Amino acid sequence: MDVFCTEIAEWGTIETGGVLVGYIENDIIYIAKASSPGPNAIHDIASFQADANYVDMFIDMESANSAGRYQYIGEWHTHPQIEPTPSDTDLISLKEIADTSTDFALVFIIGAIDFKKEFLNTQSVCVIKFLNDPLFYQLEVEI
């Protein structure tokens, strides 16, 4: 949660984001940590690209520090909205990631306008796409 607050405070309505690591237990996805975007990330009003070297290192480090329990779960980023909705670009990217994954792809989008961490459940949307399934599904977020 601190990463989200720090990044939104720094970037405002310019998109920012990172990766999510965690684990799956009893068909529930648990997000343990979120990365910052990294020093070479590209931020824009309507797009975001994380620093690939930085987020790869973050994933590797968190996996090692958790004895392999924490793995890559998905991506997070902000939108310049109060209650965000995935863009066509988000859905296309999610499909591309899912098509090359072994299981699923997940994106967690946070509305950066008037962001308040106590309202994260209503100021965010989490979408998942499973391999070989043509549909996208919205997940319930519990903080």
Q: Over the stretch 7-63, which tens digit does the pLDDT of each residue have?
A: 999 999 999 999 999 999 998 999 999 999 999 999 999 999 999 999 999 999 999
Average pLDDT score over the chain: 93
SS3 assignment, position 110: strand
Q: Give φ, ψ of 57 to 5 degrees.
A: -65, -40
* Mean pLDDT on 111-119: 91
Cα angle 105-110-115, degrees, rounded to a multiple of 5: 165
pLDDT for residue 101 is more than 90: no
Q: How far apart are the first and last CA of the chain?
A: 9
SS3 assignment, position 91: helix
Confidence of residue 117 (pLDDT cuts 50, 70, 90): confident
pLDDT for residue 131 is more than 90: no
The domains located in the chain, with CATH, are: 2-139 (3.40.140.10)
Q: Hey, how many other C-beta atoms are within 10 angstroms of the C-beta on 20?
A: 23
